[in-house]
Homo-oligomer: A and B are copies of this chain.
Amino acid sequence: MSPPDARDPQVRTRLLDAAERLFYGRGVRSVGVDDVVAAARVATKTLYAQFGSKDGLVEAYLRRRDQRWMDWLRARVAEAEPGSPRVLAVFDALGEWFGEPGFNGCAFVNVAGELVTHAAARAVARDHKRALRALLAQLAADTGAADAGVLADRLMLLVEGAIVTAHVEGDPEAALRGRSAAAALLQVHAAAA
């Protein structure tokens, strides 16, 4: 019954969409709340009604991004055959991500470096990395590798390294190098079985 922009629960979504695009693309502190409300076509009051403060909006933005990014990666990985191919699929997915126009590194790494005193944001960042590590541990175990835990730790370093390199050096092909390094490690851990 509602016209497209009436009485909407979508106000929150519009705010989060704008916040994600701006915070991720320019850095959190470079973006004022006015920028966000203008981009979301929303009143300032609404932002504060929904999130309480800019810090609250930042935290909500990070939580939603964590959820979405992990879901996206899990979906990409699930498209590959179980076992080693799924490990390599992680780096194929990274390669796609690095090539996207707005790519600006890992949102959580960026926040950890920028918002040193924002405890909630740093906690979300830590949890995000733990979730990523858990996914890699699962994939490593599913290869039947010897020392799957160690393999997962090593894959984690490669993933993080590829993201940082693609970002700072502007080199999307870091994904390919990560993939080949992962393949080498898969072989090491398979041989040791």
Contacts and interface: CB of A to CB of B under 8 A. Distances in A.
A113 B113 contact: yes
Nearest to A176: B153
A27 B27 CA distance: 11
Contact of A160 (B27, B115, B161): B161
A158 interface: yes
Interface stretch (A6-14, A66-74, A82-90, A125-133): A125-133
Interface residues of A, number: 49
Contacts of A56: none
A156 B165 contact: yes
Contact of A109 (B116, B150, B164): B164
Copy count, this protein chain: 2
A143 interface: no
A105 B154 CA distance: 19
Contact of A181 (B110, B125, B165, B185): B185
Contacts of A187: 188
A185 B183 CA distance: 11
A153 B177 contact: yes
Contact of A169 (B126, B154, B180, B184): B126
Contacts of A110: 110, 113-114
